[in-house]
Amino acid sequence: MIIKHFSTSINTKVFAHRLRQARLRMGIAQDKLGVMVGLDEGVASARISRYESGVHEPPLDTAKGIAHALGVPLGYLYCDDDLLADIILAASELPAADQEKFLESLRDRLEQLKTKKDDC
Protein backbone atom coordinates (compact mmCIF):
# COMPACT_ATOMS: atom_id res chain seq x y z
CA MET A 1 0.00 0.00 0.00
CA ILE A 2 1.30 3.43 -0.92
CA ILE A 3 0.51 6.22 1.50
CA LYS A 4 0.77 9.72 0.15
CA HIS A 5 2.11 12.38 2.45
CA PHE A 6 0.83 15.86 1.81
CA SER A 7 2.03 19.12 3.21
CA THR A 8 -0.31 20.75 5.66
CA SER A 9 -1.10 23.50 3.17
CA ILE A 10 -2.36 21.00 0.58
CA ASN A 11 -4.44 19.16 3.20
CA THR A 12 -5.86 22.45 4.42
CA LYS A 13 -6.74 23.62 0.90
CA VAL A 14 -8.40 20.32 0.03
CA PHE A 15 -10.33 20.27 3.30
CA ALA A 16 -11.40 23.89 2.81
CA HIS A 17 -12.67 23.22 -0.70
CA ARG A 18 -14.56 20.03 0.19
CA LEU A 19 -16.02 21.58 3.35
CA ARG A 20 -17.43 24.52 1.41
CA GLN A 21 -18.82 22.21 -1.32
CA ALA A 22 -20.54 19.96 1.19
CA ARG A 23 -21.90 22.80 3.31
CA LEU A 24 -23.36 24.63 0.30
CA ARG A 25 -24.82 21.39 -1.07
CA MET A 26 -26.61 20.92 2.28
CA GLY A 27 -27.70 24.57 2.39
CA ILE A 28 -26.36 25.07 5.92
CA ALA A 29 -25.06 28.45 7.06
CA GLN A 30 -21.57 28.60 8.54
CA ASP A 31 -22.80 29.61 11.98
CA LYS A 32 -25.39 26.83 12.07
CA LEU A 33 -22.80 24.23 11.06
CA GLY A 34 -20.42 25.48 13.74
CA VAL A 35 -23.07 25.18 16.43
CA MET A 36 -24.04 21.71 15.13
CA VAL A 37 -20.47 20.53 15.75
CA GLY A 38 -20.30 22.02 19.22
CA LEU A 39 -18.66 25.37 18.64
CA ASP A 40 -19.76 28.33 20.74
CA GLU A 41 -22.33 30.49 18.92
CA GLY A 42 -20.09 33.53 19.27
CA VAL A 43 -17.25 31.98 17.26
CA ALA A 44 -19.04 29.35 15.15
CA SER A 45 -19.35 31.36 11.92
CA ALA A 46 -15.83 32.79 12.09
CA ARG A 47 -14.29 29.39 12.83
CA ILE A 48 -16.08 27.64 9.94
CA SER A 49 -15.15 30.56 7.70
CA ARG A 50 -11.49 30.10 8.64
CA TYR A 51 -11.71 26.39 7.88
CA GLU A 52 -13.31 27.13 4.50
CA SER A 53 -10.75 29.76 3.60
CA GLY A 54 -7.88 27.47 4.55
CA VAL A 55 -6.59 29.73 7.30
CA HIS A 56 -6.95 26.88 9.80
CA GLU A 57 -7.57 23.16 9.63
CA PRO A 58 -9.77 21.74 12.37
CA PRO A 59 -8.60 19.13 14.85
CA LEU A 60 -9.53 15.60 13.78
CA ASP A 61 -12.43 15.31 16.23
CA THR A 62 -13.92 18.55 14.89
CA ALA A 63 -13.42 17.38 11.30
CA LYS A 64 -15.25 14.15 12.17
CA GLY A 65 -18.11 16.19 13.65
CA ILE A 66 -18.25 18.37 10.54
CA ALA A 67 -18.34 15.32 8.27
CA HIS A 68 -21.12 13.78 10.36
CA ALA A 69 -23.15 17.01 10.39
CA LEU A 70 -22.82 17.32 6.61
CA GLY A 71 -23.58 13.65 6.00
CA VAL A 72 -20.30 12.93 4.22
CA PRO A 73 -17.49 10.50 5.01
CA LEU A 74 -14.44 12.03 6.64
CA GLY A 75 -12.31 10.75 3.76
CA TYR A 76 -14.33 12.86 1.33
CA LEU A 77 -13.22 16.04 3.10
CA TYR A 78 -9.55 15.14 2.64
CA CYS A 79 -9.67 13.60 -0.86
CA ASP A 80 -7.49 15.57 -3.27
CA ASP A 81 -8.90 13.97 -6.44
CA ASP A 82 -12.29 15.27 -7.63
CA LEU A 83 -13.38 12.06 -9.33
CA LEU A 84 -12.37 9.91 -6.38
CA ALA A 85 -14.12 12.33 -4.02
CA ASP A 86 -17.32 11.93 -6.06
CA ILE A 87 -16.94 8.15 -5.96
CA ILE A 88 -16.46 8.23 -2.17
CA LEU A 89 -19.53 10.42 -1.77
CA ALA A 90 -21.70 8.30 -4.07
CA ALA A 91 -20.59 5.04 -2.46
CA SER A 92 -21.30 6.41 1.00
CA GLU A 93 -24.91 7.05 0.03
CA LEU A 94 -25.48 3.38 -0.81
CA PRO A 95 -26.92 1.01 1.78
CA ALA A 96 -24.22 -1.13 3.45
CA ALA A 97 -25.13 -4.24 1.46
CA ASP A 98 -24.85 -2.30 -1.79
CA GLN A 99 -21.51 -0.86 -0.70
CA GLU A 100 -20.24 -4.43 -0.29
CA LYS A 101 -21.53 -5.34 -3.78
CA PHE A 102 -19.96 -2.19 -5.22
CA LEU A 103 -16.60 -3.02 -3.68
CA GLU A 104 -16.81 -6.59 -4.94
CA SER A 105 -17.63 -5.28 -8.42
CA LEU A 106 -14.62 -2.96 -8.33
CA ARG A 107 -12.33 -5.76 -7.23
CA ASP A 108 -13.68 -8.04 -9.98
CA ARG A 109 -13.10 -5.34 -12.58
CA LEU A 110 -9.56 -4.74 -11.36
CA GLU A 111 -8.85 -8.46 -11.57
CA GLN A 112 -10.19 -8.51 -15.15
CA LEU A 113 -7.94 -5.62 -16.10
CA LYS A 114 -4.95 -7.28 -14.46
CA THR A 115 -5.63 -10.56 -16.27
CA LYS A 116 -6.04 -8.74 -19.58
CA LYS A 117 -2.75 -6.88 -18.98
CA ASP A 118 -0.94 -10.12 -18.09
CA ASP A 119 -2.21 -11.73 -21.33
CA CYS A 120 -0.66 -8.99 -23.45
pLDDT of residue 31: 97
* Segment holding 119, helix H or strand E: helix 96-119
pLDDT at 1 over 60: no
pLDDT at 2 over 50: no
Q: Please give the Cα distance from 118 to 73 (Å, whole number).
A: 35
Hey, CA dihedral for 25, 50, 53, 91, is it positive or negative? negative
Domain boundaries, the chain: 1-80, 81-120
Average pLDDT, the chain: 91
Per-residue pLDDT tens over the stretch 27-85? 999 999 999 999 999 999 999 999 999 999 999 999 999 999 999 999 999 999 999 99
Greater confidence (4 vs 117) lies with 117
pLDDT of residue 89: 95
pLDDT at 105 over 80: yes
- Taking alpha carbons only, the member of 5, 103, 3, 18 closest to residue 58 is 18
Per-residue pLDDT tens over the stretch 10-26? 689 999 999 999 999 99
Residue pair 34/48 in contact by the 8 Å Cβ criterion: yes
Q: Please give the Cα distance from 86 to 118 (Å, whole number).
A: 30
pLDDT at 117 over 90: no
Q: Supply the DSSP string of 55-78, one letter for each residue.
A: S----HHHHHHHHHHHT--HHHHH
pLDDT of residue 11: 84
At the top level of CATH, the class of 1-80 is mainly alpha
